[in-house]
Amino acid sequence: MNPLSELSFQIAMTLDGRSSTYIMGPLAGLELARFIPHPPPVFLLDDAVSSLHAPWLEQMQAACTPQDPPIMIIPGGEQTKTLAKLEEIYNWLAETGTTRDKTLEAAGGGAVLDIAGLAAATWRRGLDFVAIPTTLLAMVDAAIGGKTALNTAGLKNPVGCFHPASGIIADPGFLITLPCRCWRDGMAELIKTAAIGDEDLFRSIHRSRARLNNLFAGEGDDDPVPGVLGSIDWKSWIAGAAVVKARIVQRDFREQGLRRSLNLGHTLGHALEALSMGTDRPLSHGQAVAVGMAVVFRIAAERNLCPLDEAVMMIEILEACGLPTRCRAPDPAALDRALLGDKKNMSRGGLYWVLPRGIGRMDIHGLVETSELLKWLD
């Protein structure tokens, strides 16, 4: 047995007939070689990760190829998910002579993995792809399940495809340099996933809200969080969220039913995030999703769909993490336009919402009026 495997938590998935393995652990990166059938691979790196973790990235690269692989460095964040940046990646793949039998490895947060996955899916009609998530959000959500995307036409993620990574290498050591704002964004997705499919994890997070408040509710958005890795059992929390998402995406890879539950908070969240771009107070993905979850839990509690105490627990956890639970309501017409542009909007039936019936129980066919959203936003 590979001794590295004994130190790692692993999930084996089959997504759309393709094998996809999630590996988490302090030495997970040294297992990269098993996902590289034809070395050398090519690497797409988040600029912050490449500067802050250069020695470890070099070790990971050396473990999977003796050669110096081609490397492209791009900025992280939603602003990188554009058609122009995708074309830059295509030009780089052409210049480096990347053939169809090569593997594209990407290290970074959710935005970098989104556009890298799309490039891998479409270059030469499909390269093998390995994701190295370096943020909490990416480790518990973005890297798992094969969704790729970019932003265009003023909308969030309208262009993309399904292209699962053959390997997902999650090393919690990358999180030590993560700014506080990125921890909060990741907590929004971790809380969401727990609320959908792991009541024990959700209640564990709720019991830890005093520690979460001490870690994340203060100032210093752009600074790392001192002592964060030793304050919480992150391995158990990340593993728990990864198991929930893996279970769901294996049962419904192309989002025909069950997988829609993973959009809890995202329907409103994506609209708010898109509308806030270019304003003086843009919402991050995690902030927008947090507001979205708070609003749908309030709506569900008001309708007596969800127990009030569980809705209160959700609000308490989000606030403990320094995440917003309301924001200034946008213009109703602009909000309607943003919601109509949601990629989940169907020609038949319109836009269905994920409404909680309680922790671990989601209604994926909910209907919500704009007036209800506006009521609970402000």
Catalytic residues: 125, 147, 189, 245, 255, 259, 263, 266, 270, 285
Task: Specify whether the CB–CB gap between 167 and 32 falls below 8 A.
Answer: yes
Bond into 66 cis (ω within 30): no
Tokens for 39?
A: 């070395």
Give the whole-angstrom CA distance, residue 187 versus residue 181. Answer: 10
Cα distances (Å, whole numbers) of residue 3 to 27, 30, 32, 197? 10, 11, 14, 31
Q: Which residues fall within 8 angstroms of residue 202, CB to CB, at 6 or more apart?
A: 191, 194, 195, 313, 317, 359, 360
Task: Specify whether the CB–CB gap between 154 and 337 falls below 8 A.
Answer: no
Instruction: Select from 12, 14, 33 the least CA-distant residue to 23.
Output: 12
234-251 helix and 199-207 helix, angle to the nearest 10 degrees: 150
